């Protein structure tokens, strides 16, 4: 009935993929209790930037990937950076919507990818299990985005700001529909698990523990804070550290094979090189911090202003104050910087890709 498989090994999976979400929640609660919001923004930056560095090592620092994806790695970032810069000046609200949507999709796909690796390693599930898992991820995450007060207040403010008609009755119906979809799909998903067993296939319990831990973090953080930055601390600790761990062990496995062309990647990965990988990530974060070590308001060129969100009496929302506006602006800046990372990850990590499977 059950077969276990691990992304790395039982001990490290317990630390990074099963235990980390709970530690991240405690870290976010600590930040909420003891730190000013400026410090929280800096912590978000220092958590986020090193896992971007891992992406650059995985692509630009690896001759194999550079030769495979050269056009995408050159043209894509140029277009994305130009579009983001224009968006910050002329359409900041639209940029925020795009950034948040892509960030959520990116997060869902990372956790789904790890789920697929768990089935891949254990030899569990059926041919359509991936589609059921991905649907579960989208429904669970969408339910949180629509229902958690922190996210609900954001998208209500956004639509109100864009003068899109929005009534309390419509929102109530939308929330009720999301609950109905969740209530209908959960039994369907359980039926798929039952059918898997009936067909003589096995389930990997580690995968379901991993999914449960991930959504515990997202749901707990979304329902227990009204700060997007504090939610981001918990989320990025889990997302960023899991990504860094995955990239490092991916590179280490390729290094151990000894059949891949050396490059920058081989200087910071492999036996005895973990410290150089970590030093590189820290140095990269320091450089980024120094480059943007100016007040956030300067990056808006006097044009970007989230404080202009007015009260929405129908939903009991007061006008946005300076701190709330600062938090949104900081989150947009940090996430917009990640757009190239989202883009690159969309094509370099395909579990069905035989070249990727070698490193897994």
Determine the Cα–Cα distance for residues 29 and 111; give it in Å rounded to an integer: 23
Mean pLDDT, all residues of the chain: 85
Q: Which pair of structure tokens corresponds to residue 299?
A: 């990056």
Q: Is residue 137, in this structure, part of any structural domain at all?
A: yes
Find out whether 139 and 181 touch, Cβ atoms under 8 Å: yes
Report the pLDDT averaged over residues 283-289: 79
More confident residue, 322 or 67: 67
Report the pLDDT averaged over residues 179-193: 98
Q: Is residue 358, in this structure, part of any structural domain at all?
A: no
More confident residue, 338 or 182: 182
Structural domains of the chain, count: 1
Q: Is residue 5, in this structure, part of any structural domain at all?
A: no
Q: Is residue 21, in this structure, part of any structural domain at all?
A: yes
C-alpha to C-alpha distances, 164 to 190, 306, 317, nearest whole angstrom: 38, 18, 16
What's this model's pTM, rounded to 2 decimal places? Answer: 0.85
% of the chain exceeding 90 in pLDDT: 52
Say what the pLDDT of residue 207 is.
Answer: 98
What SS3 class is residue 336? helix
Say what the pLDDT of residue 305 is.
Answer: 47
Say what the pLDDT of residue 121 is.
Answer: 94
Report the pLDDT averaged over residues 62-78: 93
Q: Which pair of structure tokens corresponds to residue 314?
A: 């129908």
More confident residue, 51 or 293: 51
Residue 75: band (very low, low, confident or very high) from pLDDT cuts 50, 70, 90: very high
Q: Is residue 154, in this structure, part of any structural domain at all?
A: yes
Find out whether 280 and 57 touch, Cβ atoms under 8 Å: yes
How many residues are listed for the chain in this entry?
360
The pLDDT of residue 303 is above 70: no
Range of the domain at 17: 10-351
């Amino acid at each position: 009935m059950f077969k276990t498989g691990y992304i790395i090994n039982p001990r490290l999976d317990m630390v990074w993929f099963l235990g980390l979400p709970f530690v991240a929640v405690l870290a976010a609660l600590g930040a909420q209790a003891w730190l000013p919001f400026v410090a929280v923004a800096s912590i978000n930056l220092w958590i986020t930037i090193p896992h971007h560095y891992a992406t650059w090592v995985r692509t630009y620092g690896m001759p194999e990937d550079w030769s495979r994806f050269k056009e995408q790695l050159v043209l894509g970032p140029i277009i994305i950076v130009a579009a983001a810069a224009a968006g910050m000046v002329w359409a900041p609200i639209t940029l925020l919507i795009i950034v948040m949507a892509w960030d959520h999709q990116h997060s869902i796909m990372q956790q789904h990818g790890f789920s697929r690796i768990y089935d891949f390693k254990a030899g569990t599930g059926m041919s359509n299990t991936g589609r059921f898992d991905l649907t579960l991820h989208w429904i669970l995450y969408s339910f949180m985005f629509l229902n958690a007060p922190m996210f609900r207040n954001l998208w209500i403010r956004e639509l109100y700001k864009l003068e899109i008609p929005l009534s309390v009755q419509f929102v109530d119906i939308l929330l009720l529909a999301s609950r109905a979809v969740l209530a209908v799909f959960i039994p369907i998903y359980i039926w798929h698990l039952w059918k898997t067993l009936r067909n003589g296939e096995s389930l990997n319990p580690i995968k379901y523990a991993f999914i449960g831990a991930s959504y515990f973090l997202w749901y707990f953080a979304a329902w227990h804070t009204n700060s997007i930055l504090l939610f981001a601390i918990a989320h990025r600790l889990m997302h960023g550290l899991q990504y860094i761990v995955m990239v490092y062990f991916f590179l280490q496995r390729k290094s151990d094979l000894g059949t891949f062309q050396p490059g920058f990647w081989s200087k910071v990965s492999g036996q005895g090189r973990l410290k150089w990988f970590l030093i590189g990530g820290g140095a990269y974060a320091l450089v980024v911090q120094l480059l943007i070590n100016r007040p956030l308001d300067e990056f808006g060129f006097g044009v970007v202003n989230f404080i202009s969100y007015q009260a929405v009496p129908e939903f009991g929302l007061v006008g946005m104050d300076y701190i709330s506006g600062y938090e949104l602006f900081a989150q947009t800046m940090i996430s917009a910087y990640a757009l190239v990372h989202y883009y690159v990850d969309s094509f370099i990590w395909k579990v069905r890709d035989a070249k990727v499977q070698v490193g897994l």
